[in-house]
Structure 1
């Protein structure tokens, strides 16, 4: 996938790129994609002055431990070590953003992830204690979540005014990082028919409506709560910039149906721009040169915009 990305027109001209990882892993991937891409090997001291496409060599996994489409402790450890290195470089100001391919959570967990997901792991690694959450992006549409990787039976009790406010704020902040001010943010309802005036639940009346009114009083372009079975029709027509959903699948199903091969996940709220394609590891086609690079290219392009704004903000501080 990464070899295919680097082979796309304009990618190597859009940013100075440092590829992090084991040489034999890169070579295996490039061979599977039937591509030859020249890389200049550098060390950490050269990253500040590096231009173009370069490779920072690491030794994280033995060649015999690489198992295509296999969940192993060794592969999980390799992924975490490469991620840790990228995070350390970003926190040191040596890189402006991080793009990673899909992680297999089972492999990461076996290697000691010890977190709900890689986003919580990232926050812990860099010592970030503020609010953050996974954001999904499809073209010009963004979704944030009030709750994420929890069971459905636990969702309703987590829908609080503070949680909804934070999800709205996260969407606003992420749009600003991407260069757009005052986005139109639509809030999805929790219950069918947006509760139907309390007939199917009072979360819309007691929680969502007051938060939305307060946001509007602050001159924020926030509307809703909209029934979740219709809000994405408005989103598809381009009438809103972001949708705040109440739980994971409420937004994920819609986004993936609208454009599975273009979806991007952003680590929202963190002090480092981080993006990855929204699809999974696709073990069923791994090693067969069938992967669609579309979502990875979208993630790269979004990350470049975010990284440029991030660098400009640091320079102005």
Structure 2
């Protein structure tokens, strides 16, 4: 079994400590083998800070599975990181991005089964010249370079009770109506339906499409976008054979009996998807990137600088991300 590639994320956040906490509890959690791409000295120091003794093995990916039972396998970067828990350093941006690059190279080269990413701080990367809105978009760019054609990544928050997909992601709310088009909704729906079949093993996935406005616009009484943009997109998806319904009022889409009627919810903007997903299962929800020619998952939380280094961060969402990455990575699917 190929190991998972785990990127270090922002080393000033909780990423290093939830990684070492997860590995330290590996037996009881039945974790799949993984290797962490990062600074081994920082990992040892962070483990000590939170009261854990961490044996580290500096390895190449093909050695990771063999040493995983006794040591945390680390693929060391040639860029040491500033280690100040809770205080982000712009100088760390180079290493953060290098870890992502290395993980993508490894999964394309067949050295890793899938990628799991620890949280990054977007502003820190922006200040260092990073031009992508976030992990999702950058992974799409790296995949596009590898395959030689445009790849559109799609974010999904996948939990035990809800899978939610934002059609628009990291843009200000005021920009959402300008960015939202029927074509964008249809493209997103296609990608979600395909990956639900090929990666999640759901033969005929059911998609519930949320409206943009309150009450899905009430037939145009509260904004025209739902009738002019969302409804035609749903009609197009159905014409292509996708089992989609909508636009549906978002305020009635996420209670238990409503969730039983669909396999994934397409939401029109970031918080419309992420608020119900995190409210229902914050510790067990996983960020999954669909549309890529490889599997990528991530915890559903951020860097949590305010608690970094204090030993109170829980690895639950990372554990869920590792397990889901291993499950999806073991399935054979057609490349995106």
TM-score for both structures, normalised by structure 1: 0.88
Offset, 1:279? 0.7
For residues 236 and 102 of structure 1, what CA distance do their matches in structure 2 show?
31
Q: Which residue of 2 aligns with 1:259?
A: 281
Kindly indicate whether residue 93 of structure 2 is the aligned counterpart of residue 60 of structure 1.
no
Distance 2:176 2:333 in 1: 36
2:134 to 113, 117, 126: 117
CA distance in structure 2 between the partners assigned to 1:52 and 1:267 by the alignment? 29
Higher relative contact order (CA 8 A, sep 6+): 2
**Counterpart position of 1:22:** 39
* Map of 1:168 onto structure 2: 189
Q: CA deviation at 1:143?
A: 1.4
C-alpha deviations, 1:31-72, integer Å up to 9, x for none? 23433344443235x45x85352322223225xx21211121
> How do residues 156-305 of structure 1 correspond to structure 2 at under 5 angstroms?
156-176=177-197, 177-234=199-256, 237-305=259-327
Give the corresponding residue for 1:78. 95
Q: Which moved more, 1:298-307 or 1:33-42?
A: 33-42
> Which residue matches 1:2?
19
Identify which range, 34-43 or 196-205, moves more after superposition: 34-43
Report the CA distance shift for 1:3/1:221 in structure 2 as closer, same or farther (over 3 A): same
Q: Deviations over 1:12-41 (max 9, x none)?
A: 855332222211111023223433344443
1:51 to 53, 60, 66: 66
Q: Secondary structure at the match of 1:232?
A: coil
Q: Does 1:139 align with 2:160?
A: yes
Residues 32 and 236 of structure 1: CA distance in aligned 2, closer, same or farther (over 3 Å): farther
The answer as to whether partners of 1:72 and 1:110 remain within 8 angstroms in 2 is no
Q: Secondary structure at the match of 1:70?
A: coil
- TM-score using structure 2 length: 0.83
1:237 Cα deviation after fit: 4.7
Unaligned runs of 5+ in 1: none
Q: What residue in structure 1 maps to residue 172 of structure 2?
A: 151
Cα pair distance change 1:183/1:51, threshold 3 Å: farther
Secondary structure at the aligned position of 1:156 is classed as helix
Deviation at 1:235, TM superposition (A): 7.0
Q: Does residue 130 in structure 1 map to residue 151 in structure 2?
A: yes
Contact 1:144–1:168 (Cα < 8 Å) also in 2? no
Tell me the matched-pair count.
Answer: 309
Larger CA deviation: 113-122 vs 289-298: 113-122
Query: Residues 240-296 of structure 1: CA distance to partner in whole angstroms, max 9, x if unpaired?
Result: 221101111111222222222222112221112111111111111110110021111
Distance 1:36 1:170 in 2: 43
2 CA distance for matches of 1:98 and 1:194?
36
Kindly state the Cα deviation for residue 308 of structure 1 after the two structures are TM-superposed.
0.7
What residue ranges of structure 2 are gaps of 5+ in the alignment?
A: 1-17
Paired position in structure 1 for 2:52: 35
- After superposition, the Cα gap between the structure-2 partners of 1:34 and 1:173, relative to the gap in structure 1 and judged at 3 Å, is farther
Root-mean-square deviation over aligned CA pairs: 2.4
Task: Describe the SS at the equivalent of 2:66.
Answer: coil
